[in-house]
Structure 1
């Protein structure tokens, strides 16, 4: 049977993406609190009232209720529809780039993990092992048969050494830790899925954007000098950019010297 193409396929991928985004919101909220992501069913974080199905439709329910709980009228964070919309958009981009092939499923799983890590690190400054450690195993297993190949996936030491060097330099200059072991585990996960070349693209993007944000914050208010930026969030964003555009960026860079 031929794979679906055209608007129907894009619509199904988008719908699947926002539905997965709703589940990712559960992970973002519960994993840092050590709660099960399976039960109980979705509920209001303020009053604990369980959500009925028509109040749990991704994006639309938040808009229809004006961003408030139907029962207690407490404000529901706009992070929820944002995560759902971003997940749907990134799933569409992956489908547009790869089409129907086995690598698509692996990349969708990777993108979903990056979204969860991005938000959790932004909110809590942690990168849960329950995502990064299984992610390393899954990424390496998938790379045995799919891109980037097992050799590229196992060659993670250059990015790891760079990350360690950046962290050590930050500690020497600022006198405090700038990154944790969780960042290194996350980088290993990215390497397992994308290979060392795209991991370097990820690290470069994260360093540039993190530096830009940090300098901008200090220029706006010098009290932010000691603010700890969520490196994992920048790594997650960089990994998604590398997954979509990394090969084109590498080809452009190599072309400058050819």
Structure 2
């Protein structure tokens, strides 16, 4: 069996040009507490099914604008592995479930989505594996209260004969803050409510977006050691969340 810290989801992660360890590679999506998040942003509860161990290539729910020039937001089911609209095939050659903040404005797969098709990825928390010699220790990183909004970009791919359409997304990652570097060398871009509003603004300038991509922790978190059970992406039940040691409190660095 492959190392659960470096899962393979139908494509070789060695093809990715990102960090030596994939990140962010798993997250938890459940109606509690996401119902409130979706109510506030789109006016209805979380529309998906609970998936305590969402993995790349699986379907998740994102929040995006409902039309190219609209400010109204909508919830959409999308595949977590961005397929650029210009791709010749439905399966990109490289891993595209994460978009690096440092290159998102220039990378061919993400440049246009970053400019025109930004989205929010509401999650209950995400998983990351800490390297400890040859061991891999999974941590569940979650807000102390409520849900967590991650920055994302999305795209829509259509086959040449228009018989197939794929809506897909990537989670934006950035350098890690010192408070989370004990787990990994990268972290997802986490957004406060104000940050989410700015990320989704049609009038956002490059300078504003760049500031949001800087490493920060906008909400108080817990880093919870969990069992290796979460390492298998086929395991979806709440057992994935069960702690095996005391949680570590991580304070927000945003005043």
TM tier, smaller: under 0.3
What TM-score comes out, normalization by structure 2 length? 0.26
Query: Which one has a larger percent strand, Structure 1 or Structure 2?
Result: 2
What TM-score comes out, normalization by structure 1 length? 0.26
